[in-house]
Amino acid sequence: MFEITDPNNIQLNSEGQLKHFITTEGLSRELLTEIIDTADSFVDMNAQQVKKVPLLRGKTVVNLFFESSTRTLSTFELAAKRLSADVLNLNISTSSTSKGETLKDTLQTLEAMHSDMFVVRHSDSGAAHFIAEHVTPNVAVINAGDGRHAHPTQAMLDMLTIKRHKGDFSPLVVTIIGDILHSRVARSQIHALRTLGAAEIRVVAPNTLLPRNIEALGVKVFTSMESGLKDADVVIMLRLQKERMKSALLPSESEFYKLFGLTNEKLQHAKPDAVVMHPGPINRGVEIESAVADGPQSLILDQVTNGIAVRMAVMSMSMSGQMTEKNLKTEA
């Protein structure tokens, strides 16, 4: 576990531009909207025959994954290549870098190769923040998920997906269902939704999977699907990790599905035009039934498409922020 200080002292340059992307917490509505709008332009570009832009040409992006994730790694790699960057993928055993000093050694080795950006995924909360604090100036750091703390690019691809289908956030009731306690995705979503002005944010979970004082984040808490889903505009299911089943937090997969799995029957409590989302990979028959996951209200495949665009947006914006800071220091 790494200590996390005020993230915005690290995330923004002196002009208020993004130079690292560590968390959605504390970022302004203007900045989150800029990420969404920039990503929105990349969605359309990704549908064209030529899918490359030269925004990161000549830059080296290192995907530094201390925790494995094929899906997230693939989308970051594709995003970097579509920005014309050179990409290096490193899957590093967490055991060999469990101490901060060892992690610093790894970073210094990579910096000596003149890398320009680190995309970091780590099982310890605060790892991306630690790396951003200790990295060489002008190297951007993107958080691809750290412990239970944050997964900001997942949250922002979800915000883009909501914006493209629902438009304005201000009237929306958004319900997040599942393992809130261990979910870095849920935390990042809640911070983003609050900043973007969603009317109401709800979390639905059994008591054993709810963090203490979760209400302090500005959410309404429910332990019943029926009440939590009532008149919801957006329903976000969370992935239930198998290890939670082996602990004493849940009785069984079938019991969880019975009470908290999303079925067409339960979805009837939401608004008729409600949309359904899931960060993936899906556990069918545990968090969600196939008829819903593959149904007309599901935006799960849209999320995958939008994920590439959002990662292109934060990578290009962070690199631009780093270059602005470098130029300002040169002028000074």
Which residue numbers belong to the known binding site for L-aspartate?
99, 184, 239
β-bridge partners, 177: 204, 237
CA distances from 261 to 171, 191, 242, 288 (A): 26, 24, 15, 5
Binding site for carbamoyl phosphate, residues?
A: 71-72, 121, 151, 154, 280-281
Which of 91, 65, 63 shows the shortest CA–CA distance to 77?
A: 63
Task: List residues forming the annotated binding site.
Answer: 71-72, 99, 121, 151, 154, 184, 239, 280-281
Stated as kind and residue range, the H or E segment containing 236 is strand 234-237
Strand partners, 143: 120
With a CB cutoff of 8 Å and minimum separation 6, the contacts of 70 are: none
188: phi then psi, degrees, rounded to nearest 5 = -65, -40
User: Checking DSSP bridges between strand 275-277 and strand 200-204, what pairing results, if any?
Assistant: unpaired
Strand-pair category, 234-237 with 220-222: unpaired
Place of tokens 């992935």: 239
Q: Residue 270 half-sphere exposure, CB side, CA atoms within 13 Å? A: 27
The CA distance from 165 to 174, in Å, is 13
Q: Is 34 exposed, middle or buried (0-12, 13-18, 19+ CB in 10 A)?
A: middle
